[in-house]
Amino acid sequence: MSILVFLIGLSIVVLIGAGVVLFWAVDHGQFDDMETPGLLPLADADAVVPPDQARAATPAHAAPDEAR
């Protein structure tokens, strides 16, 4: 009987914990976009080059600044 009370108490604590975590996640936008994050592991996002460096690397004929 006492083990039952203990386990049920534990399950309620876990339940409340799960609820708190879920509320936090929802409030922090974790469920706002359900599609893009699925791509993250497939992409090599560390390779992002800051735009000023990227500008130097772009082939001359296409450098967007040239047109202005």
Partner 1 sequence: MSGNGDGCWHCGEALPRDPPLAHVAGEAHPVCCPGCRAAAEWIAALGLADYYRLREHAAARPPDVDETARAAQAFSRPELARHLVHDRPDGSAETLVVVEGLRCAACSWLIEHGVGALPGVGQVAVNGSARRARITFDPARVALPAIVDAFARLGYRALPLDAAALDDARGREARTAMKRLAVAGFGAMQAMMYASALYFGALDDLDPVARELFRWLGFAVATPVVVYAGVPFFAGAWRLLRARRLGMDVPVALAIILIYAGSVVEVLRGTGEVYFESVSMFVFFLLIGRYLEMRARHRAGDLTDALARSVPQVALRLAADGSTTRVGAFELAPGDRVLVSAGMLVPADGVLESAACRVDESLLTGESTPVGKRTGDALCAGSSVVDAAAVVRVERTGADTVISSIVALAARAASERPRIAQAGERAAARFVARVLTLAALTALGWLVIDPSHAFTATVAVLVVSCPCAFALAAPAAVTRALSVLAARGVLVVRPDALEALAGATHVMFDKTGTLTEPWLEVDRVETGAGIARDEALALAAALARTSTHPVARAIATALPATTLAVLDATSEAGAGITGRVGERELRLGHAGFALRDPAARDATTYGDDAVVLADARGVVAVLHVRERIREGARAAVTSLRSAGLEVMLVSGDTTTKVAALAGALGIEAWRARVDPAGKLAWLDALRGEGARVVAVGDGINDAPILAGADVGVAMASGAAIAQTASDIVLARDDPRALASTHALAKRTLATLLVNQRWALVYNLTAVPLAALGFVPPWLAALGMSASSLVVVLNALRLGREPPIAPPVVPVPAQATP
| Residues at the site binding partner 1, with contacts judged by CB under 8 A | 1, 4-5, 8, 11-12, 15, 18-19, 22-23, 26-27, 29, 31-33, 35-36, 38-40, 42-45, 47-52, 54-55, 57-59, 62, 64, 67-68
Q: How far is the CB of 14 from partner 1 (least distance, A)?
A: 11
Q: C-alpha distances in angstroms, 17 versus 12, 28, 31, 41, 61?
A: 8, 17, 18, 28, 57
Q: How far is the CB of 13 from partner 1 (least distance, A)?
A: 12
Tokens 């936008």 correspond to: 29
Q: How far is the CB of 39 from partner 1 (least distance, A)?
A: 5
In the chain, DSSP assigns E strands to: none
